[in-house]
Structures are given as structure tokens and as C-alpha cells.
Structure 1
Amino acid sequence: MVFWVFWQKSRRTAIATGTIVATLFLSTPVPGSAHSGSSPDRDPRGSARPSNLLHLSQQTPSPLQQVNSVSDLSDVRPTDWAFAALQSLAQRYNCLLAYPDNRYQGDRSLTRYEFAAGLNLCLNRIAESIGNSGADLEGEDLSRIRRLQAEFSSELATLRGRVDALEIRTDSLAANQFSATTQLVGEASFFLSGALGDEKANDSGESVQENTTLDYRSRLIFNTSFTGKDLLKTFLVSANSARLGGEVTGTNMTRLAFDVNTNGSVILGKTFYRFPVGDNWRVNVDAVGGGFNANVPTFNEFFTPEITGALSRFGRFNPIYRQGLGGSGLTLTYSPNSAISLSLGYLAPDASEPTGGNGLFDGRFAALGQVAFKPSDRFRVGVTYVRSYAPGSQVAVSGAIGSQLANRPFGETATSADHFGVQTSVGIGSHLILGGWAGLTLARAEDEGVGVRQGDDATIFNWAVTLAAPNLDDRGSRAGIVLGQPPKVTDNDGGESDEDTSFHFEGFYRYQIAPGIAIEPGFLAIVNPEHDADNDAIWIGNLRTIFLF
């Protein structure tokens, strides 16, 4: 409006002003708008991640297209006060631009740099018109353009410098990029851990090993896309993390989420390829290291990641998702709309072994079916079923996180199981997420064993309630609490049941020191470990430093 008032003496002035303003409004996005590209980079879990790449979408204007007639603009009407000026721009100077959806957005505000960018673009268009036709501008129009060039000479020079620097940076990135299709993401963490308690929970009479350890785990993740809609994901892992389980505390209930040990070697931890089929189907092919927790919603995403999620193995998600963990197979997800999805999956942990009792269909396996409902952004619920089988020496019915009896209710006897789970997540206010699950497993002995008959049944139950605070401050600090009962055998035809009940208490607070660096103290307490009230409580303390890059 300032320039409109300044040049309102003649209709030509209005046209010239419309040229500059139209070009300016349409060539630069307003910060924070849908076209500004202002969203930060995100890591695979959704938290803010630093980037050394320049956000080109924040430095360059949105794609524009030439409009040959004002009637092509969907948001400009003949009754608008600037309609005649815009019409003249299209007819006289061929200098009217619009967004690809044919919107003009003529009421947007602008800065001097944005005005300079629009002016530069319009001048180029006019110069192009003169060069093509040999025509000349009328004296008064030319005089105004020269005045504008002089007025905004410093801004135009700065703009040219920024564009030149951007081109140099872009050329450098293109020449030295890691890959045209692959993004490299890194995770590393140091863990200071220790157990505290009296006797181990395995009736050995031995004391809990209270030595403090300093461990690490690091992952390099290669995210590759060939079409922009697919994803080939590869994990390289190196770790030396103590297992605070049987040998240390006498129970798997104290195992931590990140207790992987590669003895310092780099191994291929996981590889899968995910791609869409049509608008509603997604296919996930796991070559190695597959897990249902990575393929379908667990409704506990805040706690699910191994390095940045829950402190304990149990606190990550319902143990039902641990069936088939580390396997190869296929998962299909059908989403007719944003409110519902149906998933079917199959994983075989020994798929690469051709010997008898192994392979894709002759050894351990897990088959999953899940229906997920999302009636709103703040409420989700899922119902899950998994069928699993394992030969006697490889049985771990509860994913190696409950009591010894809950993992092998029939000892080293081939066991099949039907697992049922219900999971939910509810947003409370703007800063809390309440979640939880309940899991029921019906195990069956598939062979004879010591004191076990083929067909004997066992019932195993677990539950948990979680509370997450994802954003405690403007740095992205967070906290989490987990309360629950690890898997417990409540009935067993083939032997003993767990007589008492264990309770799992867990809490952690992550302070975000800087983007990509956080320090997190946490604790884990197991009351009545191994579901035995005669066992003393066992405590685990942990201090981890997390690096994301």
C-alpha cells in the first residue's frame, strides 16, 4: 500500500506498482506458511535432529508459474480494487505470476528483501520482453524502474550475493554428497550402569553383582529411497553392553533395552525394504534382524526405540511384539483411511539356515495380525494376535523378559503359543501421553518332556501403564514412567505356576544439552523378582549420554 499511495498519480503508475507488488507477493513464501518449508529435520523417532545441510526451501522462493489472464486466478475477483492493474500486468508486460494452484494471495505481507527479490524477478521479465521484441518502455515507466533499482540497489546486491553463495554451496554438496539416494543417520550412546540388591533372584544364595560398568552402543543407519516413496534401511551396529540379567541379578526382569554385545565388532543389525502398493497398501520385507515392533504400531512409540526409548527391555512395548524378533519375512499393512489399518506379518528367525528344523517355514516362526484404530490424533487403540512356535532349545515364550517360568513353562520342550494383546495411547493436555497394554499368552507343549505331556497348556499374563512427557522445555527435554507386571504364569498343566507377583517400576529424565546431545539419568526397580515374595527387591541405576547425528 505504501508504494500504491506513492505512485497513485497515474494509471501507468498503478500498473508499474502492481507489477512489483504482484511479483513480490508471489515469489517469496511467508515464514511459517505452508510454503515456507520451516519444519526442522527429524530423526526416525520424530525428535528434532541437527543438520549440516542448508534448508533450501527456506532460502529460495516457492515454485511459480506464469498466468496469462487474471481470470486464471482462483482468488482474484473483478470487484477487487487491484483487478485492473493485475489485468494490465498480464496483457501489457506478461509479468503476472501465481502459485501452481493458481492462487494469487495478494494480501500477504513482505520484507524489504522479499520486495527486492520480487523486483529482481520482474526486471528480468521486462528485460526479456525487450530483448525478444525490440520494444522499448515508455519514458515514465522506465524512469520509475530506474528509481526502484536505485532505491533497492543494496538489497538487490545482497540478494545476488546470497544466490551466488547458495549456488556455490549447492554445487559443493552435489559434488561431495555421500549418495544421491541415501541419507546417513547416526546414533551413539554411553551407559554407566549398576545393579543394587541382596541375593540373586534364582535361589542360588549368591549375592547380586554390584559392579558398575561403562558400556556403549552405536549405530549407523543408511536410509535409501529410489522413488521417494520407498525405503531401504540398513543398520550397522557396534556395541559392548553388559546384560544385567541372570548372571548379575538372577532374573531377566532387570534386563535393559540396549544390552547388545558385538564384542566391539561391526555387524549388520537389520536390513529391510519398505514400499507402497497403490494408495492403501504398504509392504515391508525384512532380510535380516526383523521385528514386528518396527513394522506395525506398538502404541508406545515414545518408549519403543532401543537407545532413546525406555530404560528396560520390558518397558519398550507389549512382549507380544517380541515374537519372531531378529527374523526374516514379510509384513503387509492395509490402510483404507487415516483412522484404521490392518497388518499381517510373518517372521522366521532362522530363515537363512537350510538345515532341518530351520529355514523359512520349518523352524521358529511368528505370524501376526493387528487392527489399529485412530479415531483422533489424541487417541489410538490396537488389538493384536500372534501365533508362534519354537523348538525346545530355543523357547522364549515371553521374549526373555518375564520370569524364567514365563519364558519356558514346559522347560526345553517344543512350544507353540497364541498371544493376545490390547494396546492404547491417549493424549492428556498438550504435554502428557498416557499409554498402556495388557498381554495374554496361551502356551501349549508340542512334545513330551520331563513331567510334561504333549498338549499341556499354560497361561501367561502381563500388563503395564506408561506416562510420557515428550516436551518438558524448549530444548526438547523429556521424561517417562513405566509401571507394570512382567509376564507371569498364572496356570500350568505341565508344572509349576508363579506363586506371587512381581512389580516393575521405572523412571527416567532426559535433559537435552544441545541439539543432538542429551544426558539421561534413570532407574529400574523390581519388587518380588521372579514373582517370588521371598526375593529381595533389585534396583538398577543407569546414566546414559545420547548422541544423534
Structure 2
Amino acid sequence: MSIVRWDSRFAFCLLFLLDISIILVINPAKSQANIPASTASIVSNSKIVPASRQLPVFYADRNNTVVEQVTPVSQLLSPVPKGLPTPLSSARPVSNPAIEQVTSVSQLSDIKPTDWAFQALQSLVERYGVIAGYPNQTFQGNRAMTRYEFAAGLNAALARINELVSAGTSDLVRKEDLETLQKLQNQFAPELAQLRGRVDSLETRTAVLQAQQFSTTTKLVGQVETVIGGVVAGNNVVTKQPAPHNFTFQDAVTLKLNTSFNGTDQLRVTLGAGNITSLGGTRSGLLGTSDGKTSDNASPSFPNNQLYVSGVRYRYLLGSDTAINVFAQSDGAFELGLSGTINPYFEGSAANGISRYSRRNMVYDYGDTGAGVAILHNFGKQLELGLEYTSINGNNPTDNNGLFEGRYVALGQLLYSSPKKNLRLALTYANTYSPANTTGLSGTNFGPVIGSNLANSTVAGKGTLANTYGAEAFYRITPSLAINGWVGYSAHRYLGSGDADVWDWGAGLAFPDLFQKGSLGGIFVGMEPKLTSLSPNVNLGNGNGIADKDTSLHIEGFYQYQVNDNIAITPGVIWITAPDFNASNPDSVVVWLRTTFKF
């Protein structure tokens, strides 16, 4: 018999054979309470279930249920060890809410006096007290069970008889019952042995995990990225000479130490290293512009592949609806996911979009990492407010630096999510200021870090102020198709000199589970930040009052092939028309092959 039908007919037949039916469910809370706290633990259905080598346990595979072994029938008359816990039944997972012992069958709503097995169930309650019901006062006697579950139930019955014997009530247990139970135990010996072997293996693996764990409070999360890529077409927009078409093989490593002190807070320390060289920057690099800048470049402030602390932040909850981040080195907008919720299929760390621009509207990119605070508050389930203040050079005590006198970004965002979370709309505002001649961790002075050279330029010796506005939207049309888009505007003021206007927009199509579950395809088209107007007396490098004269398009495509949960391979291409918003510059094309390992 490989499969047993767990119904009232089965209960009746088994009762007829031994006057004891193994159709019980013992209260898991009671059983766990009797197990010494010093024992090891086994994870079952996201609950921690105590276990012991002195009191072996079984693992019933049907419902991931942990059940305890008891003394063989041949030793039933031996003294019972003190503190022997009540066995667990395999009828339902341990993680079920309290399953309460019943004193009368009438307490079970789905068992009626007219049922043919009513007398059998009533006898089990009165003679042995081995029937339990679920919190909704039902017995649920019609579901199927496996031989493993039957073995676990038999095991529980043995424990009950053991208790009766040890309590001096052995007269309640007939010799015929013991003989029948002995036969059943012998019949199910292979299943019991197999379960015992599984538990022994689990205990061994648990011991190894405990011995090798990094920390009881800290979890290490790692990511390694390798990139093969380079420029295949395009000129340097400054020198007007063809850019080198050399392919490179580069890397980036990120290690995050996440520590929780009370289960609801988190201290994160992020370490980074890498040697992925940016293909262009403001009037620098191979292309002479940051148009098409990739998203995974190494920091220019540190030598290649030197490990450095790239982030330190502490997040805690202030009530059930408010999360607060305090960071000594981080990006508050990124830490709170302010842009990720609007652009979930393009935003990511060493994943998803290839370029920096396809991931985020320029409103999020004024500034750099630094020290500050960020707050995220939920007004119900559909409205969310995010606020953050980052001081780019908050660690520098010199003039025009520090927390409040140096370069800063203050950002606020209001996000609406539909009840099904398939539609999201956001309004974002950022106020940013940069004193003259200051730079941040990424080596920038001011600007969106992407787009034209003029959009990222300042007036020498002058401080720069900007008020930036963004509107973003995301809509998941079907589980396999989503669209997102944004528009951004920034008003620049070069203090004591004049003003400028900068615009950007973008739209993307995402194809989740394309060709394979877990994989992702993406297409993006947009206009990177463009300086559309400039005060007549301001010269940002192209002459007084001269702004970007042409329109450049950013076109990007990628396919992220998910090899498994830990490895993804992402080929992609970035195509920039009229680089630096100058139609005289030939289009530039960058190809990228990224492999991401997560652990």
C-alpha cells in the first residue's frame, strides 16, 4: 500500500483493526514548548522548529512537517524520559495556527452524528484523547495522505500509548492494541527509517551552516560584474577625431554587509571596487561627452580595483508607515528606491538597463553620494512621500563644504500607486547647489552627470543653483509587457551671471519573462539632458548665449538572460544620434556584454 486515503472510512477501518485510529493532529505550539531551548533548529515553512539528537525528529515530505520519533513498542513499558514532548502529526504543517485538542466530537462542525464514522471518532476522543481540530472547528477528514504521513500518525499514536503507560494507566491499553501497533510499526519501518535519515542529514547540514555562518546578526550579500565592450562607431566630439574602437574586459565588485539589531532596522555597509572605465565625460574620455554613459563605471576618486567604502547607512522604522535612512556615505534617492519604483525594469545595480540614462530621470542625478538623511512615509496603501537631503562633501570641514555650506541636493517625491500596483505616477522636485570649484566622489562639479557638455557645465569661479522638476509614470499592461516614461525640466542659475533651461525625456518598453521565465528584454528611446536656452551674457564653452542647437536621441536595447537565480548575462547596445546635440558629429554606438554574479 503506497497511498492511503485519509477519510472517515479509513479511520473506521483502522479503529476496527486496533481500536485506535491514527488521524490526529497534535497542537504544534504545545509540542514545541516542551523541547529544550538549547537544542538545534530546523527551518520548516519559514518557522524555526526545535530539534534534538536525544529526541530525534522526522521530516514528512508531503507538507514539510516535522514530527518526532518515539520509543519502539517493545520498550513501551520502560520508564519515559522526563520532558518527553508531545509528538507532532503530519496531517498539517507545523506552521499552521493553533490546532486545538477537542474533548468531544460535537466540537467539530464537519462531523455529524449521522456520519457513519461518528462512533469511531467519538471512541478515539473518549478512550485516547488523540483527536484535534483546526481553529475553524473542522476536522477535515476527506483529504488524501501519503505513507509518510501515515507513518507520522502512527508515530504519534505510539507516543500517546507511551504517555498512558508512563502515567500508570496501562490498563487502558489492551495487549491486542500493542500487538497490532507493533505490526504496523514493522510494516512502516522503511518509511520511518527514510524519514530518520532525512532528519539526520538536515541536522548535519544545520550544524555545518551554524559553524560556517558569517554572523548571527549580519548577512553578506555580494555581486560581481564583468563587462566586455567598447565603442564600435563615433568620434570624440571635442577633437572631432574617430574614437578608438578597442574592446576591453573589465570588472566591478560590490559587497554589502546588512545587519539588523531588532529585526525591523538595518545597518548597511557597502564596499566597492572595480576598473570599468567610463567611455566619456564632460569634454573628456573617448567620446568627449557623457552622452550614452554606461551605468557601471568605477569611481574616479580611487585607483582601479581598490576596495573602498562606498556606502554607510542605517535604516529604521518610525511607526508602521515611516522609514528613515541616516547615511554617512550614500545616495538617499537610490537607497529609498525613489526612482526604482517608477522604472523597475530598467533601474538596478549591475542589472537591467545598460546606460545610466535609461535607468533614471535627470532629476535624480544632480549631485553625488554623500552624507544626509532620507524619509519615506506612506499615506495609506496608495500614496507615498519621499524626502531626502544629501550633502555631497559633508565630510569636508573646509570653507564651502560640510553639511550645510557645501554642495547639496534636497529632493522630494510624491508617488501614487494603483490598488493593483500596475500603475504608478510620481512628481519629483530637487533643489541643488554647488559652490564654485567643488567636486564630489564621482569627480563632477555640477549637472545631471548625463547629457550634453553644456548641460553639465558651470561658469568658472561662480556657484551654481538649480531647481529641477520631474514627472514619471509606469504602467504594466500585461505580465509580459510594461511601459514607463518621464519628462524632466531644470532651471539653472549661474550665480551673478545668468540662467539656463535644461530638458530631458525618455520612454521604455519592458518584456518580462521574454523567451524564458526570469529573463528580461528592454527597449528605450529618449533625449538626454539638453541645454535649450542660455542667458546672452553667459558662456559655457561654445560662446555667449549659445545653447545646444540640435536634438540628439538616445536609443538602447538589451536582453538580460537569466541563467539561474545567481547568474545573468546581458548583451546590449547604445546608439546616440548627433552626439553632444550637434548634427555634425557622426552617430556613436557602444556595445556591452555584461555578466552578473550574485551571492
What TM-score comes out, normalization by structure 2 length?
0.78
* Residues 24, 115 of structure 1: 8 Å contact kept: no
User: What secondary structure, in the 3-state scheme, does the structure 2 residue paired with 1:162 have?
Assistant: helix
- Residue 458 to residue 67, structure 1, CA distance change in 2 (3 Å): same
* Residues 378, 427 of structure 1: 8 Å contact kept: yes
* Residues 14, 85 of structure 1: 8 Å contact kept: no
- Residue 7 to residue 318, structure 1, CA distance change in 2 (3 Å): closer
Task: Output the CA distance in 2 between the equivalents of 1:210 and 1:478.
Answer: 28
Q: Give 1:153's aligned residue.
A: 189
- Residue 293 to residue 119, structure 1, CA distance change in 2 (3 Å): same
Over residues 428-457 of structure 1, what are the superposed CA-to-partner deviations in whole Å (9 max), with x where a residue is unaligned? Answer: 2221221111111112222x3xxxx2xx22
Q: Give 1:201's aligned residue.
A: 237
One-letter code aligned to 1:470: P
- Residue 66 to residue 315, structure 1, CA distance change in 2 (3 Å): closer
Q: Give 1:350's aligned residue.
A: 393
Does residue 297 (structure 1) correspond to residue 338 (structure 2)? The answer is yes
User: What secondary structure, in the 3-state scheme, does the structure 2 residue paired with 1:8 have?
Assistant: helix
* Residues 432, 465 of structure 2: 8 Å contact kept: yes
Shift of 1:155: 0.8
Over residues 296-317 of structure 1, what are the superposed CA-to-partner deviations in whole Å (9 max), with x where a residue is unaligned? Answer: 3311122222311211111111
1:229 to 264, 279, 286: 264
One-letter code aligned to 1:344: L
* Residues 294, 356 of structure 2: 8 Å contact kept: yes
Task: Output the CA distance in 2 between the equivalents of 1:418 and 1:84.
Answer: 80
Q: How does 1:441-456 map to 2 (within 5 A)?
A: 441-446=490-495, 448=496, 453=497, 456=498
- Residue 420 to residue 106, structure 1, CA distance change in 2 (3 Å): farther
Does residue 256 (structure 1) correspond to residue 298 (structure 2)? The answer is no
- Residue 426 to residue 477, structure 1, CA distance change in 2 (3 Å): same
Over residues 245-274 of structure 1, what are the superposed CA-to-partner deviations in whole Å (9 max), with x where a residue is unaligned? Answer: 032011101211001144121111112111
Pairs aligned (count): 516
Shift of 1:323: 3.0
Task: Output the CA distance in 2 between the equivalents of 1:26 and 1:142.
Answer: 28
* Residues 73, 98 of structure 1: 8 Å contact kept: no
* Residues 24, 119 of structure 1: 8 Å contact kept: no
Shift of 1:72: 12
Over residues 71-110 of structure 1, what are the superposed CA-to-partner deviations in whole Å (9 max), with x where a residue is unaligned? Answer: 8999844548577666655554343456678776555433
- Range with greater deviation from structure 2 (66-75 or 181-190): 66-75
Task: Output the CA distance in 1 between the equivalents of 2:227 and 2:507.
Answer: 25
* Residues 397, 406 of structure 1: 8 Å contact kept: no
One-letter code aligned to 1:467: L
Task: Output the CA distance in 1 between the equivalents of 2:190 and 2:579.
Answer: 73
Does residue 178 (structure 1) correspond to residue 208 (structure 2)? The answer is no
Task: Output the CA distance in 2 between the equivalents of 1:407 and 1:14.
Answer: 86
Shift of 1:209: 2.2
Q: Give 2:100's aligned residue.
A: 67
2:513 to 471, 486, 510: 471
Shift of 1:206: 2.5
Q: Give 2:571's aligned residue.
A: 521
2:329 to 288, 291, 300: 288
Does residue 192 (structure 1) correspond to residue 228 (structure 2)? The answer is yes
Task: Output the CA distance in 2 between the equivalents of 1:71 and 1:260.
Answer: 71
1:328 to 352, 356, 371: 371
- Residue 7 to residue 467, structure 1, CA distance change in 2 (3 Å): closer
Does residue 311 (structure 1) correspond to residue 354 (structure 2)? The answer is yes
Does residue 20 (structure 1) correspond to residue 58 (structure 2)? The answer is no
Can you give the 5+ residue segments of structure 1 that lack an aligned partner in the other structure? 28-34, 39-54
- Residue 440 to residue 150, structure 1, CA distance change in 2 (3 Å): same
- Residue 351 to residue 25, structure 1, CA distance change in 2 (3 Å): closer
Q: Give 1:367's aligned residue.
A: 410
Task: Output the CA distance in 1 between the equivalents of 2:505 and 2:263.
Answer: 39
One-letter code aligned to 1:405: L
Q: How does 1:92-241 map to 2 (within 5 A)?
A: 92-97=127-132, 106-135=141-170, 136-202=172-238, 204-241=239-276
Can you give the 5+ residue segments of structure 2 that lack an aligned partner in the other structure? 31-43, 48-60, 67-92, 439-443, 539-544
Task: Output the CA distance in 1 between the equivalents of 2:208 and 2:416.
Answer: 46
Task: Output the CA distance in 2 between the equivalents of 1:74 and 1:385.
Answer: 61
Task: Output the CA distance in 2 between the equivalents of 1:2 and 1:497.
Answer: 80
- Residue 418 to residue 20, structure 1, CA distance change in 2 (3 Å): same
* Residues 283, 331 of structure 1: 8 Å contact kept: yes
One-letter code aligned to 1:228: G
Does residue 460 (structure 1) correspond to residue 502 (structure 2)? The answer is yes
- Residue 368 to residue 13, structure 1, CA distance change in 2 (3 Å): farther
Over residues 134-168 of structure 1, what are the superposed CA-to-partner deviations in whole Å (9 max), with x where a residue is unaligned? Answer: 43423454344334323322111111121122122
Task: Output the CA distance in 2 between the equivalents of 1:301 and 1:83.
Answer: 56
Q: Give 2:424's aligned residue.
A: 380
Q: How does 1:33-52 map to 2 (within 5 A)?
A: 36=45
Task: Output the CA distance in 2 between the equivalents of 1:176 and 1:10.
Answer: 47
Task: Output the CA distance in 2 between the equivalents of 1:256 and 1:270.
Answer: 20
* Residues 326, 373 of structure 2: 8 Å contact kept: yes
Which structure has the greater CA radius of gyration? Answer: 2
2:381 to 309, 314, 338: 338
* Residues 103, 129 of structure 2: 8 Å contact kept: no
One-letter code aligned to 1:355: T
Task: Output the CA distance in 2 between the equivalents of 1:189 and 1:160.
Answer: 43
Task: Output the CA distance in 1 between the equivalents of 2:261 and 2:379.
Answer: 25
1:439 to 488, 491, 508: 488
User: What secondary structure, in the 3-state scheme, does the structure 2 residue paired with 1:360 have?
Assistant: helix
* Residues 370, 391 of structure 2: 8 Å contact kept: yes
* Residues 425, 434 of structure 1: 8 Å contact kept: yes
* Residues 241, 258 of structure 1: 8 Å contact kept: yes
Q: Give 2:51's aligned residue.
A: none
Task: Output the CA distance in 2 between the equivalents of 1:74 and 1:324.
Answer: 67
* Residues 99, 135 of structure 2: 8 Å contact kept: no
Identity %: 33
Over residues 180-210 of structure 1, what are the superposed CA-to-partner deviations in whole Å (9 max), with x where a residue is unaligned? Answer: 11222211111111113343222x2322122
Q: Give 2:468's aligned residue.
A: 419
2:593 to 536, 543, 548: 543
- Range with greater deviation from structure 2 (299-308 or 86-95): 86-95
Shift of 1:67: 1.7
* Residues 194, 212 of structure 1: 8 Å contact kept: yes
Task: Output the CA distance in 2 between the equivalents of 1:318 and 1:103.
Answer: 55
- Cα-Cα RMSD: 3.2
User: What secondary structure, in the 3-state scheme, does the structure 1 residue paired with 2:205 have?
Assistant: helix
- Range with greater deviation from structure 2 (82-91 or 109-118): 82-91
2:530 to 476, 484, 488: 488
User: What secondary structure, in the 3-state scheme, does the structure 1 residue paired with 2:186 have?
Assistant: helix
Task: Output the CA distance in 2 between the equivalents of 1:88 and 1:303.
Answer: 64
Shift of 1:527: 0.3
* Residues 69, 87 of structure 1: 8 Å contact kept: no
Over residues 375-420 of structure 1, what are the superposed CA-to-partner deviations in whole Å (9 max), with x where a residue is unaligned? Answer: 1221111111111111122475542111111122545531111111
What TM-score comes out, normalization by structure 1 length?
0.85
